[in-house]
Structure 1
Amino acid sequence: MESTVSVSKGVFLFPSTLKKAKNVRQKTNLFEKQFLKEPWYKAYKKNWDKIESRIMDLHQKTYDVLLNDMVKYIKSFYGGNESLEGIIPSATLLTGVNQPDHVSQFETLISKIRDEVTPHIAMVNSQDASTVKHLVENAVWQLINGYEILNDSADSDDETLPTKRKLKKNQCTMRALQNWYNDKYLSSSPKKRQTVSMRSLVIIIPDFESFNCNVLQDFVMIISSYLSSLPIVFVFGVATSVSALHKSFPYHVSSKLLIKVFHSHSSPVYMNQVLEDIFLTYTSPLHLSGKAFELLTDVFLFYDFSVTGLIQSIKYCMMEHYYGDNIKSLCCEREDIENAAAKLSAEDLETIRQLSSFRPFLEAQDCETKIGLFENDNFFREVLSQELNKLHDYLHSFYLCVRLLAAFLKDLPKNIIGKTVREIYTKCAGESITKTPTFKECMQLINFQSQLKLLDSIQGALKVVNSELQGLSPVKPLRSSPTKNNSNKLVLNNDLGETFAKTVRIHLLTFLRQLENANTEATVLTNVANETENDMEIVPGNRYKLKEQLLRATRADRIQSEFEMIRSRFVSYLEDMFAKGLQPPTTQTFHEVLFFTDVSSVRKQIVGSPRGAVHTALSNPHHYLQCSCCRLSSSDSASATLPDVCLAYKLHRECGKHINLYDWLQAFAAVLCPGDEQGDVHTQPRFTRAVAELQFLGFIKSSKRKTDHVMRLTW
């Protein structure tokens, strides 16, 4: 009889075909299948893939040194089979409070340990270790069977699963782990033992603060008793500080641990690296407006300290920017602008003509050009490509000036505009920063700096300019230093982009060499004869004469030193340079193509308001259900067609702090069955369920004062 032939009807399941179908479902994406041919989706997918690869490279560079040190520390034990006499090697990683970022960090650590040290790794979370028995079972299960099987990895072969799962989970004990390790590494022949080296057993506890202290203490003592036969290493993930580990373990437990602390990068530092190296650059395909950028950074600083969450928020802004709009295909690299403009349809070009930034550009043109921009689509495409290239030049100069301003403001005594690039970018992108009183105050503070401080600031600014120019073309050093008289003839170039950066570099080098050789001595011209007369006229105790003499001294003609004259010219040059390079993005033509400004739509999605959403759902269910039966004439009205929990919520809002359950039930029945005072037989069970749901949501709780009353908790 064939395998699919049976007397009775049935469904025959084949694992191999099921696995292939699962893989097919994973590869096919409905969203990509629907929008794969759209120009805006192609541009979005291409740009986000580049951003994601750059984020992965930065993540690897950031944590590479830390992870290498941890792996080297784990490798240093059990190499020569030496005994540690009951002391467990323990690596403590200070991860910080950014909980969403811990998963990727520990996954990278696990893959690195598996590649370089041992395949026997166990990562046990606090929710899987409520008791010592559960903690031992989960740790031993992962050490024996592997980390992938616990995650139900789809890549594992079906043939190897039965051999790995011979031991049931309730049979996973330390004695079973010891027997398994002896059979795998110690009971083989001496010749085979030379080829198979002993492997350490690594147990990772990523959320140390969430564990029960007594459970961890007992687990450490159990592991310590088996350390002579099992080479076990601990890795603790501590979010706060090392003191949390010492407070959780008494001396007889902490003495069993050989602790070494590894410090991870703090969340704000890593966030600044991600923003400054990836998103706050002219090479970034998408640029955020000042308000949008401020919203995302505020969510990071005031909510979760999660860099992963910040990146996902920026990804959502990028999706919102591109979705359904083909003109956003122009938001691409500079080399692809002409091809993207050539693929735009007549409707897309008409949409671009309706942008608010196009009107000032149109008004500055002559009549013939205006007619050509509206009637000739090919001519409009050429102008569009030219203006977008100018916009990219503007972005290059804008981000350069933002970094230069950060270099000059970092040593100032007052943190007026900000000291980091992201803070300065938020203000420069939102307004014309050079026209504000705070910017003028910063320039005054720079005008009061000493010679050494000013030279250090200029050298830091030169490093910024050189790093920007290295990506474009090699920087050639100046062969001869300019003369001092050339500083009076410095004229700003009208061009932006690479030309602007080269001009700024030449000017900074000029002022640097002039300030290095400048004389700091100053002379004051005063009338000596008058001074002697005033000195003779001064009578001890005569305050009026003393005050008059001091006023004359302040009115004396003072000649500035050479350093002060060059410094004042340098400050005026900075004002002109920043006034040209730090113009807000809203002044540029077609800035809507590259800048995301729709903050209101993103705020609703990123900054959740669960309290308002629950109130809206219960008071007006039609807002979410969109059904005719839940439509109400007013917000205060009630109907029998409403869901039971919504009706109970509306009635409970009309009560005071203490609610009588019987009166509440009568009002509930009066709405459901207006003609019957007792209500239907199903009225009381429906009411009881609605009250239980409101109690679960946190609107009411049982009262201890009266058994037939509940207490209202909100509003």
Structure 2
Amino acid sequence: MESTVSVSKGVFLFPNGFKKGKSVNRKKSQQVLFEKIFMKELWYKTYTANWNLIETELQNLHNSTFSLLLNDVVSHIKNCGHESASLGVIPSATLLTGVSQPDHVSQFTSLINIIREEVTPHVALVNSQDAATIKHLVENAVWQLINGSQALDTTYDEDEEENDCTMKKIKKNQCTMKTLKNWYHSKYLSRSPTKQRGLPSVKTLVIIIPDFESFNCNVLQDFVMIVSSYVSTLPIVFVFGVATSVSALHKSFPYHVSSKLLIKVFHSHSSPVYMNQVLEDIFLTHTSPFHLSGKAFELLTDVFLFYDFSVTGLIQSIKYCMMEHFYGDNIKALCCQREMLEEVIMDLSSDDLENIRHLMSFRPFLEQQDCRTKISLFEDDDYFRDALYRQMIKLHDYLHSFYMCVRLLNILVKDLPKNMLGRSVREIYTRCAVEWITDTQPFKECMQLINFQSQVKLVETVKNALKLINSYTQSASPVKPLRSSPMKNNVNNICLNNDLGDSFAKTLRVHLLTFLRQIENANTEATTNVIPETDSINENVPGNRYKLKEKLLKATRVDKVQSEFEMVRCRFVSYLEEVFHKGLQPAHTQTFYEILFFSEVSNVKKHIIGSPRGAVHTALSNPVHYLQCSCCYLPASDSVIDTLPDVCLAYKLHRECGKHINLYDWLQAFAAVIRPDDEDEQRHQDPNIQLRFTRAVAELQFLGFIKSSKRKTDHVMRLTW
């Protein structure tokens, strides 16, 4: 009898030695395929290097920002005494995380890593979607506490292996608090002294609830009461992640439940504060390889402030802008570190150089040159490379001075009344990147207010400015000629402004030191000169009131002479205006600024700011926009055809109705479009058409376009207009 012959029907498997690969290998193959397409492109290499650098800085900033807070939480967990365990009180920490949900993931991930490294490997993270009932909550928490530490255990013996094997056989629906108690006692407490020498000390069980407000209050109350009955035998600690305020914790728990918790509150940084740190320390610096124009930067910050308060979303938006900036354009490879400019310029092809010549900012630079220089810039690629290198160095010097002046202006105006220019570097950068800030009325008013500051306040401001300037006065690489780029025809008269960059910072530092000494040593006492009265005509004429009034006014008239401090202060304010006029030039005034600055806001706006209403309307009224099929093509926007999807057809028909829609009339119109040749009775009585129509109506109700009407049972109410 053959192997495929059987009395009953069946499926016969013939293994040929093929083994299904792991998903990780498939991901790697896809990644290799993606890299094979772009890895040799110059722009892709620069983009990858730049984003890796930004990611490293972001991770370092995240660790430094939340390290103090997380260390305090971990110290509290370490020092949680269990003296109150006999009373059934559970030690707990409440972490106020803020309203930005996407940023909570990174915070709690870092917290779990630190707890597992320093305190205990037994950590359970239970989200609200995994704890709809008390049964699911207990199962998830116990399962993670039992199975989450096996990869971190470093001690093995025969008894432990047997216990692990028995615990692995436990199903998730069998995980209860009694099971956790038996497992914990068998792992840590019921050990002989000889075997317990190599084991770690008693470990705490940490249960983290990151989204407290999303939980069912009754489920959490029952869970707290259950855990409080076991806390005398199990060292359990709660960590609550609260997005709003501590009052949410007290409102959710009545007194008999809250009395079972020993709560300590830890405050996290608010999202705007963390956002300012990310922007000021990473992206708004002259060392950043990628820069945003004023409009693009304003768009991203508005999305953050008015939509989601998510720093993670802001970073992803900047990454998208960065991908849009680099994609398919080799000249954007010049958007790199200053030290890499020479190597990148030499790798550019003739076509890339021609694309650089087509930039709009190249024309003003070209108009400043003489005829011989213009010809060389267009015909000689080596000469153009040398000019490009010098202009890129000049652009980097401009960025050095620009960001330094932005921070200097922030130091000067952040404490002024009315906040005319803003309190943060982010707000001042938005203004300076769009317009000439020195020509605006708010800037002039700020300079007037600085001209009224006291001597003590002005000295303090200048000292803070000097601290900033000292951090910027670092040695800059000198401008050197490119390798293998000979200068032809002795044309070397390209105009370069060497006042910006590191030399600008050093000069500013010397002048600020001079002003500081003058302000500190200036005398604040003002002298007055009284004008003597020489006109004695009609001095004793009685009854002349006007002459008497004029005489008294002249007697009180004095000439005020400014004090030494006031004169120094006026000179200082005038010097600041000159400095800011020179250092805060908008980016669009610089040559080749398009290479370093992303300004194509219209291309990314629709991707960063979603419009779900418009997308749904487009999909339902014109499905060919997304389906790209010929059967859904409409000759006119208001026409209907029988090949449209049912929900699209029902949507276009319901738009022709008023506020209340008769379902029977709607069904007849629906059937008339699908089967125009059949009779009316046959069309709307067909069960297939009725089924399709009912499903389409249900989908429209789910999308929120209609709802059932209480006034008429055979009508639905239209919710849109």
Name which of 693, 696, 706 aligns with 1:687: 693
In the other structure, the counterpart of 2:606 is: 604
Cα pair 2:529 2:559 within 8 Å, conserved? yes
Name which of 249, 264, 280 aligns with 1:245: 249
Cα distance, 1:472 vs. partner?
6.0
Q: TM-score, normalised by structure 2?
A: 0.89
In the other structure, the counterpart of 1:580 is: 582
Cα distance, 1:40 vs. partner?
0.5
Name which of 477, 497, 513 aligns with 2:501: 497
Cα distance, 1:319 vs. partner?
0.5
In the other structure, the counterpart of 2:419 is: 415
Give the 5 Å matches for 1:167-316: 167-196=170-199, 197-316=201-320
Report the Cα distance in structure 2 between the residues aligned to 1:537 and 1:460, rounded to whole angstroms.
Answer: 63
Would you say 1:595 and 2:601 are equivalent positions? no
Cα distance, 1:347 vs. partner?
1.4
Cα pair 2:394 2:498 within 8 Å, conserved? no
Give 3-state SS (helix, strand or coil) of 2:613's partner: helix
In the other structure, the counterpart of 1:614 is: 616
In the other structure, the counterpart of 2:395 is: 391
In the other structure, the counterpart of 2:327 is: 323
Would you say 1:655 and 2:660 are equivalent positions? no
Give 3-state SS (helix, strand or coil) of 1:92's partner: strand
Would you say 1:645 and 2:651 are equivalent positions? no
Cα pair 1:122 1:147 within 8 Å, conserved? no
Q: Deviations over 1:285-330 (max 9, x none)?
A: 1100001101111111111111111111111110110011111111
Taking a change above 3 Å as real, the CA distance of residues 148 and 332 of structure 1, as seen in their structure-2 partners, is farther
Cα pair 1:519 1:563 within 8 Å, conserved? yes
Give 3-state SS (helix, strand or coil) of 1:601's partner: helix
Q: Deviations over 1:399-437 (max 9, x none)?
A: 000000000001211211111100000000011111112
Q: TM-score, normalised by structure 1?
A: 0.90
Taking a change above 3 Å as real, the CA distance of residues 247 and 14 of structure 1, as seen in their structure-2 partners, is farther
Cα distance, 1:549 vs. partner?
5.4
Cα pair 2:532 2:555 within 8 Å, conserved? no
Taking a change above 3 Å as real, the CA distance of residues 413 and 534 of structure 1, as seen in their structure-2 partners, is farther
In the other structure, the counterpart of 1:480 is: none
Cα pair 1:40 1:325 within 8 Å, conserved? yes
Q: Deviations over 1:56-99 (max 9, x none)?
A: 001101111111111111111368x9855311110111111111
In the other structure, the counterpart of 1:483 is: none
Give 3-state SS (helix, strand or coil) of 1:414's partner: helix
State the one-letter code of the partner of 1:138: N
Give 3-state SS (helix, strand or coil) of 2:336's partner: coil
Cα pair 1:534 1:549 within 8 Å, conserved? no
Cα distance, 1:33 vs. partner?
2.8
Report the Cα distance in structure 1 between the residues aligned to 2:542 and 2:579, rounded to whole angstroms.
Answer: 51
Report the Cα distance in structure 2 between the residues aligned to 1:236 and 1:536, rounded to whole angstroms.
Answer: 90
Report the Cα distance in structure 1 between the residues aligned to 2:549 and 2:217, rounded to whole angstroms.
Answer: 75
Taking a change above 3 Å as real, the CA distance of residues 163 and 388 of structure 1, as seen in their structure-2 partners, is farther
Give 3-state SS (helix, strand or coil) of 1:91's partner: strand
Cα pair 2:341 2:389 within 8 Å, conserved? yes
Cα distance, 1:674 vs. partner?
2.4
Would you say 1:714 and 2:720 are equivalent positions? yes
Report the Cα distance in structure 2 between the residues aligned to 1:53 and 1:267, rounded to whole angstroms.
Answer: 20
Taking a change above 3 Å as real, the CA distance of residues 689 and 443 of structure 1, as seen in their structure-2 partners, is same
Taking a change above 3 Å as real, the CA distance of residues 76 and 539 of structure 1, as seen in their structure-2 partners, is farther
In the other structure, the counterpart of 2:671 is: 669
Cα pair 1:285 1:594 within 8 Å, conserved? yes
In the other structure, the counterpart of 2:435 is: 431
In the other structure, the counterpart of 1:127 is: 129
Cα distance, 1:641 vs. partner?
2.3
Report the Cα distance in structure 1 between the residues aligned to 2:594 and 2:542, rounded to whole angstroms.
Answer: 71
Taking a change above 3 Å as real, the CA distance of residues 494 and 385 of structure 1, as seen in their structure-2 partners, is closer
In the other structure, the counterpart of 2:56 is: 53
Cα pair 1:185 1:198 within 8 Å, conserved? yes
Structure 1: gaps of 5 or more residues: 1-5, 150-158, 474-492
Taking a change above 3 Å as real, the CA distance of residues 320 and 546 of structure 1, as seen in their structure-2 partners, is farther
Taking a change above 3 Å as real, the CA distance of residues 361 and 672 of structure 1, as seen in their structure-2 partners, is same
Give the 5 Å matches for 1:64-143: 64-77=67-80, 83-143=85-145
State the one-letter code of the partner of 2:460: D
Q: Deviations over 1:106-142 (max 9, x none)?
A: 0110011111111111111111112211111111111
Report the Cα distance in structure 2 between the residues aligned to 1:38 and 1:201, rounded to whole angstroms.
Answer: 51
Report the Cα distance in structure 2 between the residues aligned to 1:208 and 1:524, rounded to whole angstroms.
Answer: 69
Report the Cα distance in structure 1 between the residues aligned to 2:177 and 2:115, rounded to whole angstroms.
Answer: 22
In the other structure, the counterpart of 1:477 is: none
Give 3-state SS (helix, strand or coil) of 1:190's partner: coil
Cα pair 2:95 2:239 within 8 Å, conserved? yes
Give 3-state SS (helix, strand or coil) of 1:122's partner: strand
Cα distance, 1:526 vs. partner?
2.6
Computed over aligned residues only, the root mean square deviation of the Cα atoms, in angstroms, reads: 2.8
Cα pair 1:78 1:200 within 8 Å, conserved? no
Cα distance, 1:529 vs. partner?
3.4
Name which of 696, 699, 702 aligns with 1:696: 702
Cα distance, 1:495 vs. partner?
1.2
Taking a change above 3 Å as real, the CA distance of residues 237 and 640 of structure 1, as seen in their structure-2 partners, is same
In the other structure, the counterpart of 1:62 is: 65
In the other structure, the counterpart of 1:367 is: 371
Q: Deviations over 1:523-577 (max 9, x none)?
A: 222324379999999999x8997699569857x4321111111111111100100
Structure 2: gaps of 5 or more residues: 1-5, 152-161, 478-496
Would you say 1:42 and 2:42 are equivalent positions? no
Taking a change above 3 Å as real, the CA distance of residues 584 and 558 of structure 1, as seen in their structure-2 partners, is same
Name which of 443, 448, 455 aligns with 1:451: 455
In the other structure, the counterpart of 1:152 is: none
Report the Cα distance in structure 1 between the residues aligned to 2:538 and 2:713, rounded to whole angstroms.
Answer: 95
Report the Cα distance in structure 2 between the residues aligned to 1:240 and 1:48, rounded to whole angstroms.
Answer: 33
Report the Cα distance in structure 2 between the residues aligned to 1:657 and 1:549, rounded to whole angstroms.
Answer: 82
Taking a change above 3 Å as real, the CA distance of residues 188 and 637 of structure 1, as seen in their structure-2 partners, is same
Give 3-state SS (helix, strand or coil) of 2:269's partner: coil
Using the aligned pairs only, state the percent identity: 69
Cα distance, 1:596 vs. partner?
0.2
Taking a change above 3 Å as real, the CA distance of residues 232 and 350 of structure 1, as seen in their structure-2 partners, is same
**Stretch deviating more after TM superposition (621-630 or 652-661):** 621-630
Report the Cα distance in structure 1 between the residues aligned to 2:300 and 2:542, rounded to whole angstroms.
Answer: 66
State the one-letter code of the partner of 2:232: S
Give the 5 Å matches for 1:441-590: 441-469=445-473, 495-529=499-533, 556-590=558-592
Cα distance, 1:182 vs. partner?
1.1
Report the Cα distance in structure 1 between the residues aligned to 2:555 and 2:605, rounded to whole angstroms.
Answer: 61
Taking a change above 3 Å as real, the CA distance of residues 57 and 533 of structure 1, as seen in their structure-2 partners, is farther
State the one-letter code of the partner of 2:387: V
Cα pair 1:92 1:260 within 8 Å, conserved? yes
State the one-letter code of the partner of 2:36: K
Report the Cα distance in structure 1 between the residues aligned to 2:542 and 2:37, rounded to whole angstroms.
Answer: 94
Cα pair 2:705 2:719 within 8 Å, conserved? yes
Taking a change above 3 Å as real, the CA distance of residues 173 and 400 of structure 1, as seen in their structure-2 partners, is same
Cα distance, 1:250 vs. partner?
1.7
Taking a change above 3 Å as real, the CA distance of residues 692 and 570 of structure 1, as seen in their structure-2 partners, is same
Cα pair 1:78 1:231 within 8 Å, conserved? no
Cα pair 1:524 1:558 within 8 Å, conserved? yes
State the one-letter code of the partner of 1:294: E
Q: Deviations over 1:22-53 (max 9, x none)?
A: 33534641432321111111000000000000
Report the Cα distance in structure 1 between the residues aligned to 2:549 and 2:423, rounded to whole angstroms.
Answer: 44
In the other structure, the counterpart of 1:339 is: 343
